[in-house]
Amino acid sequence: MTGLVWFRQDLRLDDNDALLQAMQNHRKVVAVVALTEAQWSDHEWAPIKRDLYQRQLNFLGEALAELGIELRVVQCDYYRELPRLLLQLANEVQVSALYANRDYALDERRRDAAVDAWFEQHDLQCHWFDSNLLVRPLEVKPQTSGYYKKFTPFFKSWCARLAELGIAESSKRTLAGYKGKAEALNFTPIDLDAAKRDASQWARTERDAGVQLQGFIEEQVADYQRKRDVPADDATSRLSPLWEVGVLSPRAAARALQALSPEFPYGLDEGAKTWLSELAWREFYQHLMFHVPALSMGKAFQAYTEEFPWRYDKADFARWCEGRTGYPIVDAGMRQLQAEGWMHNRVRMIVANFLVKDLHIDWRWGERFFMQHLVDGSFAANNGGWQWSASTGTDAVPYFRVFNPTRQSEQVDPQGLYIRKWVSELNNVPAKYIHTPHDYLRAKGSTDYPQPMVDHKAARETFISTFKGLKTAV
Ligand code: FAD
């Protein structure tokens, strides 16, 4: 009988346990992808992320065809239609079992539970794997009970578990063995029927993604700790879109780091260690999705913060979205997001802090806007990043720590290189004035760049005193 492999956020052949297991258990394997446009719209998938998904799907379809594996497409609006449609396909191609890698947010878990139950009712088995994480959610637990709410102990325990588990070998060799057995097929490219925005600069074949990863490890990771907060330096991996659609596996990253230290995950130099911790942040937020369903329902992790009197001012929000706040670093970040569908991590933190703590606008508006524009839009990482910045989440930045956008700008972009790249009105402003260019521009008779839309000091005080009031009231 045939094995059916259902690809979702794991558009790769290597380190894909679902695919590997299906190949080992069945003489014939068929692959399927479900295009659920309406559901993705509900989840705010950005047009650029859809384009990336389509491009990666087509790379995958070609690679599967070379192995003699057909990629079938199931198309419907919502996840709820999938049990019936997948079963229909399973019957058509005479499948005895379905294989997939788990996703951890609530809608996806409900989707998978429904498919699992429906297949079981029809005497078909589903096999679930966790290839998108290095350590599964239930494998990192505090000694007491529950789950880690703070990153530092999570990271410690995550590293210990990783050391015990080790990193599975790449499945490239097994795949190469399979290649000889089947006739290559023709593949007809898939076209997503939705608004898209060109993501070609982010798309990579699996091989090229591996080359990019390796290049980063060899040439940049050593300096990561020192340079990662400087947006003009471009010193981070820019691999986030590839993790999000699953072209790269976290195991590939772990193996690359392991080559730097035989005691992996220990014994790494500062740069590599810090980068490993970023991979752990990614997993921390996925684990939280698993443990805290309320996060998938738009709720703050710290329930008392729901009482904050958030503002819902559309005009102010539009100025933030368009990068017209009058704070150069914030505007540069928002314009990078609009232009590239991506933003440097430090700047994501600065713009998020600004929306929430200077404009007092509900963090969920920012979270949604990010998802609508990011090529790496990840529900878990984005929600985690926003709740961290808004001081509403687990292990969030304390509410009284409010970023000063001007000081941040001076620290992370002292010469204004990043600002000038994205804010053309400030192209000719010397470094000395770049962080607060208003007087300089006025003296030059230039009125293109907006005045600061809010007084930071006053906004900060209001935020802190209101938040403090909430905490005291609990
Ligand atoms: P690197 O610095 O090279 O890090 C390597 C990888 O680690 C990243 O590719 C990413 O997968 C992971 N990572 C790094 N930092 C974080 C973090 N703080 N949290 C979780 N994972 C992390 N990341 C997303 O992938 N998707 C999002 O939608 C997203 N939204 C964010 C929203 C806010 C408000 C904030 C503050 C952060 C958000 N992040 C998000 C995390 C982070 O900004 C990006 O992962 C990072 O900028 C991607 O760049 P990189 O690939 O060069 O990262």
243 lines ligand 1 (CB under 6 A): yes
133 lines ligand 1 (CB under 6 A): no
Atom of ligand 1 nearest to the CA of 284: 20
| Predicted local confidence at residue 180, as pLDDT | 59
Q: Output the residue whose Cα is nearest ligand 1's atom 49.
A: 238
Atom of ligand 1 nearest to the CA of 216: 3
Active site residue 281: yes
SS3 100: strand
CB of 71 within 8 A of CB of 194? no
Closest C-alpha among 397, 409, 326 to residue 363? 397
Sequence-separated (6 or more) residues with CB below 8 Å from residue 139: 161, 165
SS3 98: strand
Q: Which tokens is 111 given?
A: 């989707």
The CA-based diameter of the chain, rounded to the nearest angstrom, is 78
286 lines ligand 1 (CB under 6 A): no
Q: Output the residue whose Cα is nearest ligand 1's atom 14.
A: 278
Distance from the CA of 255 to the center of ligand 1, in angstroms?
20
Instruction: Please tell me whether the peptide bond between 265 and the residue prior to it is cis, using omega within 30 degrees of 0.
Output: yes
Active site residue 386: yes
Per-domain boundaries in the chain: 2-131, 206-291, 303-473
279 lines ligand 1 (CB under 6 A): yes
Would you give per-residue pLDDT tens digits along the chain (474 residues)?
899 999 999 999 999 999 999 999 999 999 999 999 999 999 999 999 999 999 999 999 999 999 999 999 999 999 999 999 999 999 999 999 999 999 999 999 999 999 999 999 999 999 999 999 999 999 998 988 899 999 999 999 999 999 999 999 999 888 887 765 678 899 999 998 877 899 999 999 999 999 999 999 999 999 999 999 999 998 999 999 999 999 999 999 999 999 999 999 999 999 999 999 999 999 999 999 999 999 999 999 999 999 999 999 999 999 999 999 999 999 999 999 999 999 999 999 999 999 999 999 999 999 999 999 999 999 999 999 999 999 999 988 899 999 999 999 999 999 999 999 999 999 999 999 999 999 999 999 999 999 999 999 999 999 999 999 997 665
Strand order in the sheet with 28-36: 70-76, 28-36, 2-7, 95-101, 125-129
Q: Is the ipTM of this complex over 0.90?
A: yes
Distance from the CA of 238 to the center of ligand 1, in angstroms?
9
Closest C-alpha among 92, 87, 354, 132 to residue 247? 132
Atom of ligand 1 nearest to the CA of 371: 28
For residues 390 and 386, give the distance between their C-alpha atoms in angstroms, rounded to a whole number. Answer: 6
Which one is catalytic: 278, 307, 340, 410? 278
349 lines ligand 1 (CB under 6 A): yes
Phi-psi region of 258 (alpha: psi -120 to 50; beta: other; left: phi over 0): alpha
240 lines ligand 1 (CB under 6 A): yes
Q: Output the residue whose Cα is nearest ligand 1's atom 46.
A: 345
Asked, colleague to colleague, whether 2-131 and 206-291 share their fold, the answer is no
What's the pTM?
0.97
206-291 CATH, one of 1.10.3470.10, 3.90.1170.40, 1.25.40.80, 3.40.50.740: 1.25.40.80
| Predicted local confidence at residue 473, as pLDDT | 65
Q: Which of 282, 288, 388, 391 to mutate to test the pocket of ligand 1 (most atoms within 8 A of CB)?
A: 282
Q: Which CATH architecture fits 2-131?
A: 3-Layer(aba) Sandwich (3.40)
Q: Which fold has domain 303-473?
A: DNA Cyclobutane Dipyrimidine Photolyase, subunit A; domain 3 (1.10.579)
